């Protein structure tokens, strides 16, 4: 049995710089706010009818522990008859929450469910509490660089000499400019859930916009930044995503249930795929994941009209674009900007990509298919292919 799976709606909190905007806010409370905001936007949903809640985090301790899916559902006021579980696939946590829920809907076990992700990198610095097995290095299962994401980005530059620092800086600049334009046109704010934030100096406030974007970025400024992962390297704070805090949530349903409840449909899942690569060049993961997903869907890259690629590092996006012969500045790639500007709170970002793609689908009825894709630590990639519910042939 297989049924069509659709995204009804998706939202997120504004993203903050790690330990800044949300320094006094718990990770689980960020996630609760996203879930509540999602349900407030869809009042025709009876929370008791939700079949499951799947929430991702890359660090599952402290305020990101306690089985986030169950904890967040209870804290958000969803009836205690609704179960929940947590997911961890590092950066692709929310994407995996979505695909796992989607599989349950497709086989008929669920009709309506919530998937999302959160990362409070201020409370949980990247790598905190990890204890890599010494066999990784002793048995040369991975190289030392594989355990430091910035170092893997430098390795990607090594592997593909055409992916220069100048190209990475220009891509990063364009991401900032696209984000500034999307903000000026009100395209990002409409899906941000106002979120309480507390500062020791300023007291309580309401976050309504992302904290990380730098609209005043210049190419000259980017060119002069330090390369912390290697002397005279190419990866900088300017052409990478930052360390961030934030949460995302999506409402998924079978197409039948969405139609029964007269719910809007933002995107229909065609297929998805995860793939592995050498951990030392983890940023290359979206390439084989996309090849695999396209094969499953019997589609070609030329069939894809819109792309949302997570900008963990500019070089990682460029590697994808170059492989598929897509221009560095293609207008149909991350049209609202990306993680280099707005941030990448690890496990939350997969839903941000879906949210943006759904909005682009509304603007482009001539486009039938879109992709969301991202790289994943320890050498993986994840890709989902989506169909535009607003598609009109010949437009």
State the catalytic residues.
91, 344, 375
d(CA 320, CA 324): 6
Please give the structure tokens belonging to residue 332: 């149909």
149 contacts: CB under 8 Å, gap ≥ 6: 126, 282, 312, 313, 377
The H or E element containing residue 36 is: helix 27-40
Contact 321, 189 (CB under 8 A): no
d(CA 282, CA 71): 32
d(CA 106, CA 332): 29
Q: What pairs with residue 198 in β-bridges?
A: 204
């963990």: which residue's tokens? 312
d(CA 162, CA 382): 24
The H or E element containing residue 387 is: strand 380-387
The H or E element containing residue 267 is: strand 267-276
């Amino acid at each position: 049995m297989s049924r069509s799976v659709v995204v009804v709606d998706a939202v997120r909190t504004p993203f903050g710089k790690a330990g800044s905007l949300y320094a006094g806010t718990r990770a689980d409370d960020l996630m609760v706010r996203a879930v509540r905001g999602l349900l407030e936007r869809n009042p025709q949903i009876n929370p008791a009818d939700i079949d499951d809640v799947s929430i991702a985090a890359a660090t599952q301790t402290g305020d990101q522990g306690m089985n986030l899916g169950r904890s967040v559902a209870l804290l958000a006021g969803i009836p205690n008859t609704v179960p929940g579980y947590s997911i961890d696939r590092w950066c692709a946590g929310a994407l995996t929450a979505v695909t796992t829920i989607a599989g349950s809907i497709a086989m008929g076990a669920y009709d309506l469910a919530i998937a999302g992700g959160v990362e409070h990198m201020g409370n949980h610095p990247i790598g905190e509490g990890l204890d890599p097995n010494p066999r990784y290095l002793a048995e040369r299962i991975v190289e030392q660089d594989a355990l430091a994401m910035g170092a893997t980005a430098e390795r990607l530059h090594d592997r593909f000499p055409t992916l220069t620092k100048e190209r990475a800086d220009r891509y990063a600049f364009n991401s900032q400019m696209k984000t500034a334009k999307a903000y000026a046109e009100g395209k990002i704010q409409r899906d941000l859930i106002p979120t309480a934030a507390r500062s020791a100096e300023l007291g309580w406030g309401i976050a309504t916009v992302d904290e990380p974007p730098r609209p005043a970025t210049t190419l000259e400024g980017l060119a002069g930044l330090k390369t912390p992962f290697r002397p005279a390297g190419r990866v900088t704070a300017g052409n990478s995503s930052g360390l961030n805090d934030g949460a995302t949530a999506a409402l998924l349903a079978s197409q039948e249930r969405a139609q029964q409840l007269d719910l809007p449909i933002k995107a229909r899942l065609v297929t998805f795929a995860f793939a592995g690569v050498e951990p030392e060049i983890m940023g290359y993961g979206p390439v084989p994941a996309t090849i695999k997903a396209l094969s499953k869907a019997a589609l070609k890259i030329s069939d894809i009209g819109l792309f949302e690629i997570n900008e963990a590092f500019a070089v990682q996006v460029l590697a994808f674009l170059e492989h598929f012969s897509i221009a560095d500045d293609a207008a149909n790639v991350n049209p609202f900007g990306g993680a280099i500007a707005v941030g990448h709170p690890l496990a939350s970002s997969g839903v941000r990509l879906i949210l943006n793609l759904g909005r682009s689908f509304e603007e482009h009825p001539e486009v039938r298919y879109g992709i969301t894709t991202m790289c994943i630590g320890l050498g993986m990639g994840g890709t989902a292919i989506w169909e535009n519910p607003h598609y009109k042939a010949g437009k």
